[in-house]
Amino acid sequence: MGADLKKPDLNDPFGSIDTLSESFRQGVLTPSKVMEAHLQRIEIHDSKLGAYQALYVDAALFAADAASKAIASGHRIGPFHGIPFALKDICDLEGQITTNGSLTLADRVSTITGTLVRRLVAAGGIIIGKSKSVECAFGGWGTNQHMGTPWNPWDLTHQRVPGGSSSGSAVALAAGMAVCAVGTDTGGSVRLPAAYCGMVGLKVTEGRLPCDGIMPLAQTLDTPGPITQSVTDAVLMFQVMDGCEGWAIDQARANGTAMFAELGKGVAGLRLGKIDEKERLNCSAEMLESYGLAIEKLESLGAIIEEFNTPTPYGDLANENGAIIAIEAYHNHGAMYEDAANPMDEDVRKRMLSGKKHLAHDYVRMLETRRNSAEAFANKMGGLDAILTPTTTSPAPKLTEIDQDISPGHFTRPFNYLAMCALALPVGLSEGGIPTSLQIVGRANDEMMVLRVGAALEASLPHVGRPDIG
């Protein structure tokens, strides 16, 4: 297990956004020293872990030197200034290759940089490189037949799934090869890798963050989001992604206002819904044990826990979400997969081509059903403040044990479908030392509620940290 974030070490170059920002402010560390430490770690470990598709070593060192000089001269932009981050390789960066996880697109040079990436760079963030993705971001296990499957660093003996589709982002972060990372989430692609790799992943409400310059999987459902080491880091990165100015974030943090006012409120008096017995049948024993302990902890903090019976089983909602993804994905990428000469991932090809079997009226019906399901779910929630589920049905399985015909998004896909927001939070380790994760689900545009619950639980549990990879 890694260092405890509750006792920040300002000398640790692999610390959180929050810790490093303060270290830079006090002159304890510089962005150059932090970048050098991360690049050295990448050089040592990424040949095995395979988190990165491309590295921008010279540009990263140059930007880190510039950030160091700016901060030293009193021109610090905000909390993200000088922070090294990994960028999922479906996000365009002008002049650089964006493969979308596909060997077929290995030479595709981006002509634009999207709004989201511009915001992160304008806030002083430094892109270390492009992190690997499942091909076309279409898969929850994190596998990639042609570009390589990143190795989950929590087990260096047996290769376990990293989670997808933001596989490289989560692996890079868990291994200390980035301070934070950008992911995207259409059916769980931020939360699943965060959960399997022991990190925090925020799935924001659809439409909350800009998607221009991000290669689409399914436009109706795509949402970019941060993968971070802590809930506080998720807030900091989310605010930057949401277009907040660095000075305003600093001021809100110092004064305990805006989002930071909510983080410290705790959960006393909040009504939180837990899964019923039918949904428990989908989970492994060790995941249920971890889930139960998290529920007990929230109860001890004053939350009111009530059983919540979803009006439509989560598995059915997940399947409906998957069908919409397939239809829209085929619209976006079908021609590439129809061409047998293209070296496409065969597991993804199967999912992709399934989207063409649906007629237009099927798709319209699906969208109508989606609206009705979202309304029914919201009505059933009633006065509940949030819903609590496991993020995954089990800790990360071995790569040899997975079934590519089954999505791991049983608990994540439903909330893309229902247009809600959610937070994946590490809550412990299995007997085998593999992370377990709790999903905290909130209403649309109520990111602050899931972050509030997450912050309270995080503060009360032993920190999972990072794996010891030497």
pLDDT of residue 6: 53
**Beta carbons of 218 and 321 less than 8 angstroms apart:** no
Amino acid 193 reads: P
**Beta carbons of 297 and 461 less than 8 angstroms apart:** yes
* Second-level CATH architecture of 17-309+381-460: Alpha-Beta Complex (3.90)
CA distance linking residue 271 with residue 432, whole number of Å: 33
pLDDT of residue 1: 39
CA distance linking residue 194 with residue 406, whole number of Å: 19
Q: What is the rounded (10 degree) CA torsion for 454, 457, 459, 464?
A: -90
At 63, list the tokens.
């930007």
Q: pLDDT, tens digit, for every residue of 337-391?
A: 999 999 999 999 999 999 999 999 999 999 999 999 999 999 999 999 999 999 9
Identify each DSSP E strand in 410-465 by its residue range: 421-429, 435-442
**Beta bridge mates, 424:** 201, 439
**Beta carbons of 52 and 129 less than 8 angstroms apart:** yes
Is omega for the bond preceding 165 within 30 degrees of 0, making it cis?
Answer: yes
At 275, list the tokens.
């899964």
Q: How far is CA 427 from CA 71, 168, 180, 292, 458, in A?
A: 35, 22, 19, 11, 8
Identify each DSSP E strand in 61-146 by its residue range: 84-88, 126-131
CA distance linking residue 389 with residue 440, whole number of Å: 7
CA distance linking residue 226 with residue 200, whole number of Å: 8
Non-local (6+) Cβ contacts of 63 within 8 A are: 31, 126
pLDDT of residue 4: 42
**Beta carbons of 310 and 380 less than 8 angstroms apart:** yes
At 114, list the tokens.
């999207």
**Strand 200-203 relative to strand 223-228, pairing:** antiparallel
pLDDT of residue 8: 81
Helix (H, G, I), strand (E, B), or coil: what is residue 7? Answer: coil
Residues of the chain with pLDDT under 70: 1-7
Non-local (6+) Cβ contacts of 285 within 8 A are: none
At 135, list the tokens.
């091909």
Does the predicted model carry a pTM greater than 0.95?
A: yes
The overall longest dimension of the chain from CA atoms, in Å, is 61
pLDDT of residue 7: 67
Nearest to 417 by CA among 328, 294, 345, 355: 328
Q: What is the 3-state secondary structure (H, E, C) of 271-323?
A: EEEECCHHHHCCCCHHHHHHHHHHHHHHHHCCCEEEECCCCCCHHHHHHHHHH
**Beta carbons of 448 and 259 less than 8 angstroms apart:** yes
Non-local (6+) Cβ contacts of 207 within 8 A are: none
CA distance linking residue 392 with residue 218, whole number of Å: 22
CA distance linking residue 290 with residue 292, whole number of Å: 5
pLDDT of residue 411: 98
**Strand 180-185 relative to strand 84-88, pairing:** parallel
**Strand 271-274 relative to strand 386-390, pairing:** parallel
At 198, list the tokens.
């022991």
Hey, where are the domains in the chain?
Answer: 17-309+381-460, 314-370
| DSSP element (H, E) containing 64 | helix 57-72
